[in-house]
Amino acid sequence: MSIHRPKRATSRKESATARGAGPSGPPKPPKWKEAVAEQPDGAFSAYATGSTFEKDALVAHSKFGKGIVLEVDGNKVQILFEEGIRKLLHGTPSP
């Protein structure tokens, strides 16, 4: 004999996180407009793979434009540009 259970509108996992019972996710990145758009042009460093960057550094990329470093992981950096987050190399000499 089987027990009939009605389907839930949301999964248990979704309803637990909606009530605040789940673990908190990673912090949300800042909005590009608030973090970058109002900064003067002189505050940005030109991006190059051979340069090294620290968290919260302002970067000017030739293709992606102005951005801010969100995370540094070894020789990779995550930079928030107006179009979105990009993972780029840094501290690596050019061939």
pTM of the model as a whole: 0.68
Per-residue pLDDT of the chain (95 residues; tens, 9 = 90+): 567 777 776 666 655 555 555 566 677 777 888 888 889 999 999 999 999 999 999 999 999 999 999 999 999 999 999 999 999 999 877 66
State how far the alpha carbon of 67 is from the alpha carbons of 85, 87, 95, in Å. 9, 12, 25
Three-state secondary structure string covering 51-78: CCCCCCCEEEECCCEEEEEEEEECCEEE
Phi, psi (rounded to 5 degrees) for 7:
-70, 145
